Amino acid sequence: MAEKILMKGNEAIGEAAIVAGCRRYFGYPITPQTELTEYMAKRMPQVGGVFLQAESEVAAINMVYGAAGTGVRVMTSSSSPGISLKQEGISYIAGAELPCVIVNIMRGGPGLGGIQPGQADYFQATKGGGHGDYRNIVLAPNSVQEIVDMTIQAFDLADQYRNPVMLLGDGALGQMMEPVEFKATDTVPSIKAWAANGMRGRTQPNIINSLHLQPEKLEQHNIHLQQKYAAIQKNETRWEELYTEDADLILVAYGITSRIARSAMEKARSESYKVGLIRPQTLWPFPAAPFAKYAKTAKAFLAVELSAGQMVEDVRLAVNGVRPVAFYGRTGGMIPSPKAVYEQIVKTLKERGGN
Amino acid sequence: MAEKILMKGNEAIGEAAIVAGCRRYFGYPITPQTELTEYMAKRMPQVGGVFLQAESEVAAINMVYGAAGTGVRVMTSSSSPGISLKQEGISYIAGAELPCVIVNIMRGGPGLGGIQPGQADYFQATKGGGHGDYRNIVLAPNSVQEIVDMTIQAFDLADQYRNPVMLLGDGALGQMMEPVEFKATDTVPSIKAWAANGMRGRTQPNIINSLHLQPEKLEQHNIHLQQKYAAIQKNETRWEELYTEDADLILVAYGITSRIARSAMEKARSESYKVGLIRPQTLWPFPAAPFAKYAKTAKAFLAVELSAGQMVEDVRLAVNGVRPVAFYGRTGGMIPSPKAVYEQIVKTLKERGGN
Amino acid sequence: MTSEIIMAGFGGQGVMLIGQLLTYAGMLENKQVSWIPSYGPEMRGGTANCSVIVSDEPIGAPIVTEPTALVAMNLPSLDKFEPMVQPGGVIIINSSLIERTVARSDVKVYQIPANDVAAELGNSKVANMVVLGALIAATGTVNSQSVNKAFAKMFAQKPDLLEINERAIERGASYIKC
Amino acid sequence: MTSEIIMAGFGGQGVMLIGQLLTYAGMLENKQVSWIPSYGPEMRGGTANCSVIVSDEPIGAPIVTEPTALVAMNLPSLDKFEPMVQPGGVIIINSSLIERTVARSDVKVYQIPANDVAAELGNSKVANMVVLGALIAATGTVNSQSVNKAFAKMFAQKPDLLEINERAIERGASYIKC
Amino acid sequence: MAEKLFSRPQSLKDVAFHYCPGCHHGIIHRLVAEVIDELDVRDKTIGVAPVGCSVLAYEYFNCDMFEAAHGRAPAVATGIKRSQPDTVVFTYQGDGDLAAIGCAEIVHAAARGEKITTIFVNNAIYGMTGGQMAPTSLIEQVTNTSPYGRNADSAGMPIRMSEMLATLDGASFIARVAVNNPANMAKAKAAIKKAFEIQINGHGFSMVEILSTCPTNWGMSPLEAAAWLEQKMIPYYPLGQFKAPEGVAK
Amino acid sequence: MAEKLFSRPQSLKDVAFHYCPGCHHGIIHRLVAEVIDELDVRDKTIGVAPVGCSVLAYEYFNCDMFEAAHGRAPAVATGIKRSQPDTVVFTYQGDGDLAAIGCAEIVHAAARGEKITTIFVNNAIYGMTGGQMAPTSLIEQVTNTSPYGRNADSAGMPIRMSEMLATLDGASFIARVAVNNPANMAKAKAAIKKAFEIQINGHGFSMVEILSTCPTNWGMSPLEAAAWLEQKMIPYYPLGQFKAPEGVAK
Amino acid sequence: MPKPVFNEERCKGCELCTAVCPKKIVVIANRFNSKGYKPATCSDDAKCIGCALCAKACPDVVIEIHK
Amino acid sequence: MPKPVFNEERCKGCELCTAVCPKKIVVIANRFNSKGYKPATCSDDAKCIGCALCAKACPDVVIEIHK
Ligand SMILES: Cc1ncc(C[n+]2csc(CCOP(=O)(O)OP(=O)(O)O)c2C)c(N)n1
Ligand SMILES: Cc1ncc(C[n+]2csc(CCOP(=O)(O)OP(=O)(O)O)c2C)c(N)n1
Ligand code: SF4
Ligand code: SF4
Ligand code: SF4
Ligand code: SF4
Ligand code: SF4
Ligand code: SF4
Ligand SMILES: [Mg+2]
Ligand SMILES: [Mg+2]
């Protein structure tokens, strides 16, 4: 077993990427993810990799497009406003089916907003902030160890499905330190026969492209993408549940908020409230299954987010009207205390689940 | 009554903007909305306005930010990939609460995609393709006359709520010609005491800003925004319904697709299928009310889109599990014929409504 | 009544224009009208076509998929759109450029040597007006005065063009009458 | 047992570092640990603080809002965090810089003249280690050997610093014992 | 088969171009392909097509290709070259693509001395979208977005990208050429070859700006367009070499 | 109240700056404010603050202000000036803001001859985000994203923005100054004043690049930083006037 | 004997080749190809000196020069 | 008699003013202001020639020069 080391979330992403075989990083500084950019600046030369500070987020995502198209593992990272700038590029990457990892360590918005933690880019990440019908695989870790594991997994998923994978965290996750272990991975770099890395004896040129001028062809391409997305939904949906079996109220939260929710839940349990927690680990594909299941047993759901209410829509879609779904959110970088969430639990149970 | 003239959708937007008092336009060419940019190049100098071809969509949206902040009516326009590039800027405009009109004449995606009509930017427009919790008011006309009326309305709504308003059309609407009338407007340019247009004797400087470094302040700002959005939902939700009262199946479609759906519905009615249509005219705020109402009487809903299924999520949220919601979509610039939609109607009625 | 018409030809043959004229004329007759081009990659050099609807009812889908009438200015257009025409519909063929006729027997077909007529009239550019004349005569979608009025409006700055265009329309119509 | 500690002071007083050392030490004792800074606009020049949790159970929220112990290296930090400390909790005050003590009677308060002790030890930079020594002695969160081991790991390149830091920790702890 | 004095280069696929009659894009494609053939690097060449009339360049060049987002070809090329340093990477970009939306990307690729070669086709207009003003459109030039002629006061003066980029230390080779007559074509090909050689030899960024026609959107016959290029464009955009590493002949 | 030989300009609000001790941003703010006072245009001046350490400039300048997105101040200023042509519009931008992410916007504002004035604070680093490499960081300069020193081979050579922008016809006035000693400060103020006057007189784009310190992220005391600026920055970034309309003295 | 060989179906009748032939033997034919263009052709093979200027001027790589 | 007047609470002790005074009378005081900085001060008002160099060098506009 590897030794545990104490690491910041942001830096753990970087080291995990290196463990996953990522040797190309293109990024642009922005709080609260800058430590990751800086970590790559330090580490990439040490492992024979490429660190490049791009002139902008737009350039960085297009460098990723170029690198990914040649078949290498590649990553970029930013925070909310910078991720907005990448939306065209992400749509291109999805359209051209290139594997890459994009990290968003979210802060409060909208606009320049603030630099404290936020979760208000959920819609952007999961529904497609860029144009067209495409999906990112969105992973939402809630501890530094899970950051490590999911970062490695992100590269594998990206390669497997030829799809951008977004690691969605918030400023708190990026900044916090916890012990982590880097288990040796059995990652076998997949062979990418489609990569345009120079013909090198191949007889047919490879082309990386998202243009399909004939609507018939573009529709075919979209159908192909939708089939791929369906396969991802089928195979890659992940979540964690705690105390759900007997719960009257099920909390729903991801990332840092899920830990606050867990603390609140434990407090509630200790006072005999039957509270459980579903923590989506993949935000897209969203884990609808457990909601369908527990909508039969729980009396209500309570989504907790650092936003004005985004994931809660997916919860509502999953619960599909069978039970009430309540929402509690803080914005602007404010982080609710476990106590505040506990109070919401009590309140919701009274209002909705109590009958 | 003004004389009717025959106009292309794209050009009608331009003329309507001028009628609404818009004298600043910043844009960048892209198919299939370029006629609008070109129209403004021709017309703005004639009416003493400013036409500026920006160096990019990113620059254009930030010019809009500057112009809007000084209190003038201003517009930009683009199509899907260009709109993706504007996402950071739109989030800033929403955060700084600036009124402006943004036109998206959608094409097929993702990526470079194609140049034929699409409706796959629905999520981006309505859920916030940029970062943070914000909302655009999204208007969806379905005829050239409505393009005119809604463009004018867009400027009024933008001013009234200090919010970006997006006019969301598709390539077909932009390209088609229909007779239009420009009714004299009673638009009274609102007084914008907040505008930063030079102090000119004012004692306190005005500041246009979206930064709030203190999380408490940023949260307050977000609460204020959410209250504003709630007011918009309350006051500005618009839709059209046809034959809904007795309908077994209610079609849901916006923009060009709603006209195809209407033709299909008429064919179905002529064969005694009880089919109705709800056409959202505002996509955000989405008209949930009629769905709640007809979920009691209709047997099923069928959303028709030029996408792989985006608006259908809002339909599902509005129907809230009470009735099945089916979906029929074409992508990539393919446009279904009324006949194809008619076949979907028959199929859906058999499968879902026929119980 | 609802006329749903596709007009198609090479770029440069003026099919977009006659589509707009027909639409305008319909508007002048207080009918519901719509015009929509097919735009796209084939725009450059390739074929061009537009959909026109003239109707007494509000217009649903503006893109015509089952035309009541087709104007084919060149062979690829005829090949592409002939099968879509509704039974009982009208097909106007520019026989100056299209040698074949139509195999279907359930449609009315008119072969108009549009380029030749235009050349006779002394202006090769009015071939499109010739077929437009034929079309309105064959379908009765609008009357020719409306088209002339529409032309006068759309080309208000070029009144000298009016006469030759009127004559081209007449000549086109004459192929239907006889 | 779960220790939830806030450490706060001016930027430059080394509160982030002692927070990390404590966290590291907890990890070496095979406990669950987390450290999180408050970052933000006040970073530059202003005050800095971090949350440390050392626990036998998996850690929920890493941001401490009801600390079981507080280290206050300067007055603004004491002002800000004093009210949040849980009844029965511990407050370590750097009495070299903070003149006042605590009004609450439901907490254990230790006043440590950390800067003075550091000066005595001949290195003004170890004031933070002095309070860390006091903290672990007062709370028993980890033992001092673990902190020393953590220090040795984190500053593997600077072994000469080890001794003075160990002494600073001892001196800090001695204030609790007596 | 008869021996040939002149035939299609191997680096160009045997398919018809979609370009308008007389458009210089086709000539430029051929020259680039000839250079790739002559340097015998097709097997390790990766091209980046732009958004612009040459958006389909990936269907023409017979080597690995990328379609880039509008303006971002230099960033894409950077990502490629940094991942595959032993390849020969070129971008092919129009004036809207390179000088307008992609301005930051080309400046920074040049500043970084990115080891790529840029073929910059300056036709003073946005061809693909149907004839709008480009940053390089001439003063008084009538386009669909400068219907009254480009006005310096509101639209500024046309940008001379070669001169601007030549101020950057990272730019190794910058030249402006044209393909409007046989003599210029020969010089153009020589410049393209130098630019590729400079990349292959490990120098920094190289760019060849090629003045080009757009008969369609200029509203001229191909021969008129070639004459307009000679009479109007070359005087404002002087041909020549603006930057070269020491030891590379003018 | 005693008469004053020197006091805070009216165009600067009476609030404390958040800048680090010894940071030149404060001096530059004061000079700009003094120029606004002297030209008596506060009432019609609109400033655009950047994203960077001076992100809060809107809290300091006592005139109407905009906070722009990172790099986009020139576009925002364009929107403002085109809407309110009788105002005096300036942008205040750092080197990351102007030379990196905002490169296209500044080039095009200059090329269009936009009638705005840009105050460009070049401190060879990203101050606000804690000390990363800027396009203007010097070769071998150690920053958090060039921890082994800036390497020309992978990060390119630092960009001299003034020299580059001076190649554009639309740029009316471009100068580089510093505020590291009283003599340079006087020249800096004179240049800022010229830049504003050129705007007021209806000429095109004007920019003053001001070499500035970042003691915090350079890891130096303010006095050491001022010396480093003199010894390292000025040799690479020569002070002087790179462009001026005819009739404007050097 | 050198001679220009035209891939007529690829020709777009742009006339660029006609302007550069030193022998003025490259001309536009009075017929259409299937794309609707009048293609270029050689009026007198015998006069060709094999300079390939016509081929190089052609944007559509229509012309080969055979030996 | 000119003299420099310091708004001590605004001073950040950066020392830039101390370096420019031709009379070397601007010095750092050995006390802290409430922000924790050691502020600049004038060691000898009488020597001041009112050149304002100290004031101009100050990034925080701490210094006024009174007549
Ligand atoms: C983000 C984005 N903006 C705009 C467009 C539309 N567009 C396509 S090509 C083009 C300009 C083409 O001009 P140029 O680069 O000069 O190439 P040319 O066609 O003249 O060869 C534009 C604006 C686009 N595809 N993507
Ligand atoms: C789109 C976007 N990208 C990145 C950032 C993060 N960011 C804030 S300021 C800054 C750079 C500041 O450097 P500079 O412009 O040189 O100004 P300075 O702080 O040195 O004065 C960056 C990268 C941001 N706010 N927005
Ligand atoms: S539009 Fe212009 S640039 Fe494009 S292919 Fe045609 S002639 Fe060439
Ligand atoms: S970080 Fe640097 S630029 Fe920013 S305020 Fe501090 S010294 Fe000035
Ligand atoms: S090869 Fe030379 S001489 Fe022969 S046809 Fe061509 S241009 Fe004329
Ligand atoms: S140059 Fe080529 S395309 Fe043009 S006419 Fe000659 S052979 Fe035909
Ligand atoms: S005004 Fe001049 S002499 Fe007086 S203290 Fe300041 S610098 Fe010294
Ligand atoms: S320059 Fe200003 S801030 Fe710095 S020490 Fe002098 S008075 Fe204080
Ligand atoms: Mg061009
Ligand atoms: Mg800087």
What CATH topology corresponds to B5-235?
Rossmann fold (3.40.50)
Q: How confident is the model at residue F246 (pLDDT cuts 50, 70, 90)?
A: confident
| Residues paired with E61 in a beta bridge | E12
Query: Cβ of B38 and E145 within 8 Å?
Result: yes
Give the orientation angle of helix C127-139 with respect to helix C162-177, to 10 degrees.
50
Look up residue A107 and give its DSSP letter.
B
* H23 contacts H49 by C-beta, under 8 angstroms: yes
Average pLDDT of chain E is 97
* Ordered domains of chain E (ranges, CATH): 25-243 (3.40.50.970)
Q: What is d(CA C15, CA C35) in angstroms, rounded to the nearest whole number? A: 12
Per residue, the 3-state secondary structure of A166-183, as one string, reads: EEEEEHHHHHCEEEECCC
Residue A77 dihedral angles phi and psi, to the nearest 5°: -150, 155
From atom 6 of ligand 5, which residue's Cα is the shortest distance away?
Answer: G54
* pLDDT (0 to 100) of residue B187: 67
- CA–centroid distance, residue G60 to ligand 3 (Å): 13
Where residue E3 falls among pLDDT bands split at 50, 70, 90? confident
pLDDT value at residue B188: 67
> Across the interface, do E157 and F170 touch by the CB < 8 Å criterion?
yes
Count H helices, E strands: chain C?
6, 6
B115 close to B171: Cβ distance less than 8 angstroms? yes
Predicted pLDDT of residue C38: 87
Two structure tokens written together for B4: 């009717």
Residue B130 tokens read as: 């940029």
Q: Report the b/e string of D4-35 with b at 16+ CB within 10 A.
A: bbbbbbbeebbbbbbbbbbbbbbbbbebbbbb
Domain that residue H49 falls in: 3-66
Verify whether the Cβ–Cβ distance F48 to B52 is below 8 Å. Answer: no
* pLDDT > 90: percent of chain D: 82
Residue with tokens 């047992």: D1
* Confidence band of A355 (pLDDT split at 50, 70, 90): very low
Average pLDDT over residues B316-321: 98
E43 phi/psi in degrees, rounded to 5: -70, -20
Amino acid F67: pLDDT: 98
What's the mean per-residue pLDDT of chain F? 97
Average pLDDT over residues E183-193: 98
Please write the tens of the pLDDT for every residue from H26-62.
999 998 887 778 999 999 999 999 999 999 999 999 9
pLDDT, position E250 = 56
Return the exposure string of C110-141: e unless at least 16 CB atoms fall within 10 Å of the residue's CB, then b: bbbbbbbbbeebeeebbbbbbbbbbbbbbbeb
Interchain proximity C62–B4, CB inside 8 Å: no
In angstroms, what is the span from residue E129 Cα to ligand 3's centroid? 10
For an interface test with F, which of B53, B56, B91, B208 has the most F Cβ atoms less than 10 Å from its Cβ?
B208
Per-residue pLDDT, A128 = 79
Residue H51, number of CB atoms within 10 A of its CB = 18
d(CA E74, CA E90): 9
Spacing, Cα E214 to ligand 3 middle (Å): 5
Identify the residue whose C-alpha is closest to ligand 4 atom 7. F214
pLDDT at B184: 72
Q: Which residues of chain C have pLDDT under 70?
A: 40-46, 177-178
Query: Number of folded domains in chain G?
Result: 1
Ligand 4 cavity residues, CB under 6 Å: F 19-20, 23, 25, 53, 123, 127-128, 214-217
- pLDDT tens, E214-247? 999 999 999 999 999 999 999 999 999 999 998 7
H or E, element range at E90:
strand E88-94
**Partner A, chain D 30-89, Cβ-Cβ below 8 Å:** 33-37, 39-41, 59-63, 65-66
How does pLDDT run across F90-125, given as a tens digit for each residue?
999 999 999 999 999 999 999 999 999 999 999 999
Beta-sheet strand order (sheet of F64-67): B207-208, F64-67, F45-49, F88-94, F117-122, F205-211, F171-178, F240-243
pLDDT for res B190:
80
Please report the pLDDT score of residue D43 as a whole number.
Answer: 44
Cis peptide before B110 (omega within 30 of 0): yes
**pLDDT tens per residue, range B271-291:** 999 999 999 999 999 999 999
F217 pLDDT above the threshold of 90: yes
CA of residue F134 to ligand 5 center, whole Å: 56
Average pLDDT over every residue of A230-254: 98
Q: Does the pLDDT at position A1 exceed 50? A: no
**Amino acid symbol at A181:** E
Contact indicator for A95, A132 with CB cutoff of 8 Å = yes
Q: Which atom of ligand 1 is nearest to the CA of B112?
A: 25
Q: Is the CB of H53 under 6 A from ligand 7?
A: yes
Q: Is the pLDDT at E204 greater than 60, yes or no?
A: yes
Using CA atoms, how far residue A258 sits from A80, A126, A242, E208, in Å, is: 20, 18, 11, 55
Percent of chain E with pLDDT over 70: 98
How far is Cα C86 from Cα C81, in angstroms, rounded to an integer?
Answer: 11
B175-232 tens-digit pLDDT: 999 999 998 776 667 889 999 999 999 999 999 999 999 999 999 999 999 999 999 9
**Phi and psi, residue F242, nearest 5°:** -100, -15
Nearest CA in chain B to F75: B63
- Is A240-352 assigned to CATH 3.40.50.920? yes
Q: How far is CA D170 from CA A133, D132, D148, D174, in A?
A: 63, 10, 10, 6
Which numbered atom of ligand 3 lies nearest the CA of E53?
4
Check residue C42 and give its pLDDT. Answer: 46
* Mean pLDDT score across all residues of chain H: 95
- For residues A280 and A251, give the distance between their C-alpha atoms in angstroms, rounded to a whole number: 11
What pLDDT digit, counting tens, does each position of A47-69 carry?
999 999 999 999 999 999 999 99
Neighbour subunits, B (≥3 Cβ pairs < 8 A) = A, C, D, E, F
- C35 to B176: CB separation less than 8 angstroms, yes or no: yes
- pLDDT interval class at G37 (50, 70, 90): confident
Contact F222 H15 (CB under 8 A): yes
Sign of the CA dihedral B171, B173, B178, B179?
Answer: negative
CATH superfamily of D2-177: Pyruvate-ferredoxin oxidoreductase, PFOR, domain III (3.40.920.10)
Please identify every residue whose CB atom is under 5 Å from ligand 9, which is an ion.
E 94-95, 123, 127
How would residue A184 be classed by pLDDT, with cut points 50, 70 and 90? confident
